[in-house]
């Protein structure tokens, strides 16, 4: 059980709500200190509000989405809280974990590692889906955990889609992603992560950590929105593969009302792109979170 004593590190008022940074010792991450940001809209002072979880991409921390995403105006109006977890454990001291920017620190890929070298600390799936809600609920934060949705960017888009699609409890009501790694089994980033973190490598990942594989097997209705830009270098290099996800979704019978993938001419991989469509995503989720 994680330490339920949250340490409040900072607080900033924004759009009549409050952005708070917290720190605690994470059992899921092997006893390391973990930090997260939580935006509470003004409505949270009188009622419990729904929660939207934002997962950042490679090299990011809990701060990138909070500082650059442009989500708070819409979240304030809609009465939705936003949680910003970190992207990996910090300070595990595993040999080689800081050798590459796309693996190890800052690159946890939102999975639970089964390779013994990483399995003590690299458990971002449990950290995000179980530990953080438990920690926040134990602290008495004004969140209605029966109403959760999830979104993310790049590696975090991969995380949002897979955590949504693989949840046996259907924890999240909807998912969306900016420039997600949509078919990681078939791109260099995903292959590297899966072969490193998972004892069973690509074959193990196929069951739980590839959104294209998961949507192909999902027959019940889903609620997914994806945006990507044609000027995105990582899209051009074949790291994202959103068409693979869309084709698999349509093949499984998910039409435009269930899975919507939007292609935007000229936009890149940056937070300039994310902030352009930030309010679209918050409003998309608010439609499901308010039900």
281 a catalytic residue: no
Beta-carbon count within 10 A of 193 CB: 28
Enumerate helices (H) and strands (E) in the chain, giving the number of each. 11, 9
Q: How many domains does the chain have?
A: 1
Residue 4 confidence (pLDDT) above 90: no
Residue 2's pLDDT band (boundaries 50, 70, 90)?
Answer: very low
254 a catalytic residue: no
Structure tokens at 119: 């399995």
In a domain, 207, yes or no: yes
Domain of 83 in residue numbering reads as 6-288
Q: 3-state DSSP call for residue 165?
A: helix
Of all residues in the chain, the percent with pLDDT exceeding 70 is 98
The CATH number that applies at residue 102 is 3.40.50.1820
In what helix (H) or strand (E) does residue 268 lie, and over which residues does it extend?
Answer: none
Q: Name the average pLDDT for the chain.
A: 97
Structure tokens at 63: 């701060």
Of all residues in the chain, the percent with pLDDT exceeding 90 is 97
Q: Quick one: which of 261, 163, 148 has its CA closest to 214?
A: 163
The pLDDT tens digits of the residues spanning 213-266 come to: 999 999 999 999 999 999 999 999 999 999 999 999 999 999 999 999 999 999
Residue 3 confidence (pLDDT) above 70: no
Residue 158 confidence (pLDDT) above 70: yes
Annotated catalytic residue within 121, 269, 281, 285: 269
Annotated catalytic residue within 232, 254, 281, 285: 232
Structure tokens at 70: 């442009």
In a domain, 1, yes or no: no
The pLDDT tens digits of the residues spanning 171-225 come to: 999 999 999 999 999 999 999 999 999 999 999 999 999 999 999 999 999 999 9
Burial class (CB in 10 A: 0-12, 13-18, 19+), 29: buried
Query: Phi and psi at residue 19, in whole multiples of 5°?
Result: -100, 120
Q: Residues 53, 55, 60, 66: is their CA dihedral positive or negative?
A: negative
In a domain, 235, yes or no: yes
The CA angle 61-63-37, to the nearest 5 degrees, is 105
Q: 3-state DSSP call for residue 192?
A: helix
Residue 148's pLDDT band (boundaries 50, 70, 90)?
Answer: very high
| DSSP result, 77-92 | HHT-EEEEE-SS-S--
154 a catalytic residue: yes
What's 44's DSSP letter? G
| DSSP result, 118-144 | TTTT-BHHHIIIIIHHHHHHHTT-SEE
pLDDT at 103: 98
The pLDDT tens digits of the residues spanning 101-132 come to: 999 999 999 999 999 999 999 999 999 999 99
Annotated catalytic residue within 44, 154, 174, 176: 154
User: What is the rounded distance in angstroms from the CA atom of residue 215 to the CA atom of residue 238?
Assistant: 19
Tokens 């990507």 — which residue?
A: 228
Residue 1 confidence (pLDDT) above 50: no
Residue 14 confidence (pLDDT) above 90: yes
In a domain, 210, yes or no: yes
Average pLDDT for 32-51: 98
In a domain, 17, yes or no: yes
């Amino acid at each position: 059980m994680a330490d339920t004593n949250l340490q409040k590190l900072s607080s900033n008022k924004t759009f009549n709500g409050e952005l708070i940074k917290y720190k605690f010792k994470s059992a899921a991450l092997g006893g390391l200190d973990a930090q997260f940001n939580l935006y509470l809209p003004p409505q949270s002072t009188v009622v419990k509000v729904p929660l939207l979880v934002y997962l950042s991409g490679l090299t990011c921390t809990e701060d990138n989405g909070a500082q650059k995403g442009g989500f708070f105006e819409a979240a304030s109006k809609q009465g939705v809280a936003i949680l910003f977890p970190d992207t990996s454990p910090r300070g595990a001291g595993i040999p080689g974990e800081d050798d590459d920017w796309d693996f190890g620190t800052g690159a946890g890929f939102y999975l639970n590692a089964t390779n013994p070298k990483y399995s003590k600390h690299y458990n971002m799936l449990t950290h995000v889906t179980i530990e953080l809600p438990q920690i926040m609920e134990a602290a008495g934060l004004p969140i209605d955990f029966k109403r959760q949705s999830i979104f993310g960017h790049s590696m975090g888009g991969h995380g949002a889609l897979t955590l949504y699609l693989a949840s046996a409890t259907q924890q999240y009501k909807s998912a969306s992603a900016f420039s997600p790694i949509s078919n990681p089994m078939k791109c260099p980033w995903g292959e590297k992560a899966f072969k490193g973190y998972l004892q069973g490598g690509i074959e193990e990942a196929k069951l739980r950590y590839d959104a294209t594989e998961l949507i192909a097997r999902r027959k019940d209705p889903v609620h997914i929105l994806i945006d990507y830009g044609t000027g995105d270098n990582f899209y051009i290099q074949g790291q994202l593969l959103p068409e693979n996800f869309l084709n698999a979704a349509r093949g499984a019978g998910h039409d435009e009302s269930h899975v919507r993938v939007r292609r935007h001419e000229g936009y890149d991989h940056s937070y300039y792109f994310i902030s352009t469509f930030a309010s679209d995503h918050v409003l998309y989720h608010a439609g499901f979170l308010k039900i």
